[in-house]
Amino acid sequence: MMRMTETVKQLLIINIIFFIGSQFVSVAYPLFSLYYPENANFRIWQPITHMFMHAPMPNLMHIVFNMFALVSFGSALEHFWGAKKFLFFYISCGLGAALLHTGVNYLQIHSLLNEVSSLNLSNAQIHTLLNADYRAIFDENGKMLAGNIKTILDNSHCTQEQFNKISEAAMISQTPVVGASGAIYGLLTAFAFMFPMAELAIIFIPIPIKAKYFVPGLLAVDLFLGFKGSSLFGSGGTGVAHFAHVGGALCGFLMMWYWKKNQFNKNRWD
């Protein structure tokens, strides 16, 4: 196995520090996870910071798998590219992941809101509904409690079906994204681009698969699960930000294609 390179080591340390610290500092997840821009918890730095956050304890496998992939594939790429070019690529893929994930969320949320457009809700009312805590507005009998949300819905003569659309849009808006997976998928794409014949293996498939087949296959699974779990195309979400994975890979592919076309992939940036 190739020796861990310096930038990969620093990224590994930063991810571990973020992970350990966020288990003890309660505000870390709402502050550094990536929220939908219209959500009250959104902050301008989250497209960067979310890629250093990971699922909280006891879920260790999220950070373990991402960091294993970072060391395995990132070290090879940094060795050939140099630190600056590698870091630029890594951060860019993480931002690409955030962009596509947010774009898909936008389409889903506004598709749902278009279905309740007959309620004639104002922008302020929509903002209130998207940021409401729907676990706290019902009593033990399932009856909606008096308050701002009930007033808005009653005055607009909202039906149960329309309420379901609004609450689904709110759930999408309020679900944060964490993890380096988008940047990691960019690294996987770059690795397959540079070393297409390298054989890779995963735990539940014992047969080594060439990188040029492994990475597209992995992306095909993500696309399928992403569309299946999307409110636009189906149901059955997995709790995984599949379109963030696709966004990181797409950004990585476009950068590799551009660099190859311009012969920049042969130059280190050190």
145, pLDDT greater than 80: yes
Residues of the chain with CATH 1.20.1540.10: 6-115+173-266
Q: For position 198, what pLDDT does the model report?
A: 83
187, pLDDT greater than 60: yes
Is residue 5 within 8 Å of residue 75, measured between CB atoms? yes
Q: For position 263, what pLDDT does the model report?
A: 66
267, pLDDT greater than 80: no
CA dihedral 94, 97, 102, 105 (to 10 degrees): -150
Cα separation values, 244 from 154, 180, 202, 260, Å: 37, 10, 21, 24
C-alpha–C-alpha distance, residues 251 and 221, integer Å: 18
Q: For position 231, what pLDDT does the model report?
A: 47
Structure confidence at residue 95 as a pLDDT band (50, 70, 90): very high
Q: Residue 129's CB: how many other CB atoms inside 10 A?
A: 25
Structure confidence at residue 178 as a pLDDT band (50, 70, 90): very high
Structure confidence at residue 265 as a pLDDT band (50, 70, 90): low
Structure confidence at residue 111 as a pLDDT band (50, 70, 90): very high
pTM: 0.88
The mean of the pLDDT values for the chain is 89
Cα separation values, 60 from 13, 38, 57, Å: 16, 30, 6
Is residue 57 within 8 Å of residue 23, measured between CB atoms? yes
C-alpha–C-alpha distance, residues 257 and 267, integer Å: 14
Q: For position 122, what pLDDT does the model report?
A: 95
What would be the CATH architecture of the domain defined by 6-115+173-266? Answer: Up-down Bundle (1.20)
Q: For position 218, what pLDDT does the model report?
A: 81
